[in-house]
Amino acid sequence: MQQQEPLWTPSAEKVEAAPVTAFARAAAQVSGRVLGDYAALHRWSVEERAAFWSLVWEFCGIIGERGEEILRDGDRMPGTAFFPDAKLNYTENMLRKGGTGDAIVFRGEDKVERRLSWDALRELVSRLQQLFRAEGVKPGDRVAAMMPNMPETVAAMLAAASIGAIWSSCSPDFGVRGVLDRFGQIEPVIFIVPDGYWYNGKSFPVEEKTAEITAALPSVRKVLVVDYLGTARQAAGGIDRAEALEDALAPFAPREPEYERLPFAHPLYILFSSGTTGIPKCIVHSAGGALLQHVKEQRLHAGVEDGDRLFYFTTCGWMMWNWLASGLASGATLLLYDGSPFHPDGNALFNFAEAERMTHFGTSAKFIDAVRKADLEPARTHDLASLKTLASTGSPLAPENFEFVYRAIKKDVHLASISGGTDIVSCFVLGVPTLPVWKGEIQAPGLGMAVDVWDEAGRPLPSGKGELVCTRPFPVMPVGFWNDPTGEKYRAAYFARFDNVWCHGDFAEWTSHGGIVIHGRSDATLNPGGVRIGTAEIYNQVEQLPEVLESICIGQEWDDDVRVVLFVRLAEGISLDDALSKKIRDKIKTGASPRHVPAKIVSVPDIPRTKSGKITELAVRDVVHGREVKNKEALANPEALELFRDLPELKG
């Protein structure tokens, strides 16, 4: 039964002040329609896409030459061209602001703190741009980085984009094979690395790893080593073609950056699928699509305005890093954090929020759950008066964690659960600052995104669970996949299920409030007795129990059917006895349904997850069935997979 009262309703003053309210007025003038609520605005945005995206360009002040045509072949998916005559540069839109105010504030786990003003960021981008050009970098070349989330990473990306080079990044905790599986496919000409990184109070030099990776990347002309541990020059000495960034920049004096204006669809980023079921897909995103979608989401859905202080806890291997960087286009200060969010305790990010007057706090659903289970109450221990929006993604946010945010973090805050992915470097469904927040629900589909839920026959489902689809093209659809000249792999990934319709691979359901619930990945959906069950429905119940730190659920092929198997990682000192097993089953039965109750419950000491913190149901399922996991390098803790192999509990 859905909750009768919202957890939060924006005040009339907040609604009036929200940028999306001003946008809705402008849309009403453009359309001649009465757009009395968000649902009406959304309908117009998908019915009149050319007018909508043209207004986004104008309202958000995109710098560039828009051209006359807005939408070409608007019913082809893939194949639509947005702004086919436009010319723009992503970096020019990021560096529109000047002055001595903060553009970037960086805090490393080791207590390193740095600030870059808008002027200082522009100067650093200029010097990096000159360095890249001196190394022969031109439009379409790839610049790859294995970097912490620090100011030099943002500046290097902006410098690459200013030339029209294509940026790709991962975090420095990736193993050699994981890096080569990614960058080996795209053949970068510049490779940017740190001398090391910090995590959980320890330093991790990466010189040896970088030397091994570089030796296997013959396309790389120059390796630039960024100083973080204080050993960049020394590290560069042990790596072929390497130089400390500080020394490489020495010949170049700051000057005004030059911006190469290129077509709207010119590639900006190559992002990678998680890759636990094979070599990662190289997903190519356009400069115009990423820019337009990000400013739309940040201005209209997150309410980011000039002078706001925008934070997302992310590594450079997760698409939220790319999303965060675009906050510069709205004049927001980027707050960057690198390291463990729980070192030395769980307050590191809240300390950062208080000290820097954070206005937008973005994190993962798993982080919020971990804060709850650590019995932290930031509302009591920290001054979070500046905080306007708290965003959560990475996996579905459990209903009890919606309540926890309002009880223990901040009572008056816009809690925006969001969902999209690497595939679109943005969101399909997300927050709306003028709508109420209901427990367990994502508020609405994004403007311009024709999101729906379909059954297996391709029929819309006004209620009930089905496939999340997008029925009309949108600007941030990938340009394609790298090394996929015919587009066959790209079409197979998203358009094979339903012709001319994007099928995202999420198991979803509309709510009576016009919101949406994500029940997990549809390829991880459980089918006991032919009934489809989303794994998130089980996690939402199990992880309420204090004895359970986290869980992972799979379907095991058994007796010509599928049985549900639940693995639990228990709190310290707790063991899985008959009483706890019964408590878990009862919780699932009463909170979800008898169909959700697992046939087997097994205790494990660890659960495998990707570098971005997502649990890996498909990899666990493969191990349980004796199948090979093709790319363990995509995992943060690949050794955990062995905990699921040949378990006696699953033999009978």
Strands (DSSP E) found in 273-353: 282-286, 309-312, 333-338
Q: Is residue 561's pLDDT more than 80?
A: no
C-alpha–C-alpha distance, residues 406 and 8, integer Å: 8
Strands 282-286 and 548-558: unpaired
Tell me the three state secondary structure of residue 582. Answer: helix
C-alpha–C-alpha distance, residues 407 and 387, integer Å: 15
Q: What is the 3-state secondary structure (H, E, C) of 149-206?
A: CCHHHHHHHHHHHHHCCEEEEECCCCCHHHHHHHHHHHCCCEEEEECEEEECCEEEEC
* Rounded alpha-carbon distances, angstroms, from residue 111 to 108, 150, 337, 351, 371: 5, 13, 10, 12, 21
User: Is 599 inside any structural domain?
Assistant: yes
Asked if residues 126 and 255 have their Cβ atoms less than 8 Å apart, the reply is yes
Domain of 566 in residue numbering reads as 526-650
Q: Over range 152-170, report the average pLDDT.
A: 98
C-alpha–C-alpha distance, residues 393 and 364, integer Å: 5
User: Is 384 inside any structural domain?
Assistant: no
Best CA proximity match to 363, nearest among 381, 346, 383, 385: 346
C-alpha–C-alpha distance, residues 233 and 603, integer Å: 47
User: Is 316 inside any structural domain?
Assistant: no
Q: Residue 624 maps to which CATH number?
A: 3.30.300.30
- Place 593 in a pLDDT band, splitting at 50, 70 and 90: confident
* Average pLDDT, rounded, for the chain: 94
Asked if residues 555 and 528 have their Cβ atoms less than 8 Å apart, the reply is yes
Strands 242-244 and 222-226: parallel
**pLDDT, tens digit, for every residue of 163-174?**
999 999 999 998
Asked if residues 613 and 370 have their Cβ atoms less than 8 Å apart, the reply is no
- Place 594 in a pLDDT band, splitting at 50, 70 and 90: confident
Best CA proximity match to 289, nearest among 157, 171, 423: 423
Please report, as a single letter, which amino acid is at residue 484. D
Tell me the three state secondary structure of residue 614. Answer: coil
Q: Over range 339-352, report the average pLDDT.
A: 93
C-alpha–C-alpha distance, residues 168 and 391, integer Å: 24
Q: Is residue 1's pLDDT more than 50?
A: no
User: Is 374 inside any structural domain?
Assistant: no
* Rounded alpha-carbon distances, angstroms, from residue 127 to 35, 82, 482: 47, 33, 29
Q: Is residue 476's pLDDT more than 50?
A: yes
Number of H helices, E strands in the chain: 21, 32
**pLDDT, tens digit, for every residue of 277-318?**
567 899 999 999 999 999 999 999 999 999 999 999 999 999
User: Is 338 inside any structural domain?
Assistant: no
563 is written with which tokens?
């049985």
> Looking up tokens 């960087």, which residue turns up?
325
> Looking up tokens 């970088």, which residue turns up?
210
User: Is 579 inside any structural domain?
Assistant: yes
C-alpha–C-alpha distance, residues 270 and 285, integer Å: 6
Asked if residues 281 and 273 have their Cβ atoms less than 8 Å apart, the reply is yes
Q: What is the DSSP string of 516-562?
A: EEEEEEGGG-B-GGG--B-HHHHHHHHTTSTTEEEEEEEEEEETTEE
* Rounded alpha-carbon distances, angstroms, from residue 606 to 193, 334, 535, 548, 586: 30, 34, 18, 12, 24
Please report, as a single letter, which amino acid is at residue 198. W
- Place 276 in a pLDDT band, splitting at 50, 70 and 90: low
Best CA proximity match to 89, nearest among 287, 376, 252: 287
Q: What percent of the chain has a predicted confidence (pLDDT) above 90? A: 85
User: Is 314 inside any structural domain?
Assistant: no
Instruction: At 208, give phi and psi (nearest 5°).
Output: -65, -45
User: Is 178 inside any structural domain?
Assistant: no
Considering Cα of 437, then 438, then 440, then 444, what sign does the dihedral take? Answer: negative
C-alpha–C-alpha distance, residues 72 and 362, integer Å: 35
Q: Say which residue, 2 or 278, is predicted with more confidence.
A: 278
Q: Over range 346-361, report the average pLDDT.
A: 96
Angle between helix 176-186 and 207-215 (nearest 10): 40
CB count in 10 Å sphere of residue 463: 10
* Predicted pLDDT at 275: 56
Considering Cα of 30, then 33, then 37, then 38, what sign does the dihedral take? Answer: negative
C-alpha–C-alpha distance, residues 196 and 229, integer Å: 6
Instruction: At 417, give phi and psi (nearest 5°).
Output: -80, 130
Asked if residues 211 and 225 have their Cβ atoms less than 8 Å apart, the reply is no
Best CA proximity match to 622, nearest among 610, 630, 614: 630
Please report, as a single letter, which amino acid is at residue 41. L
The total domain count for the chain is: 1
**pLDDT, tens digit, for every residue of 251-271?**
999 999 999 999 999 999 999
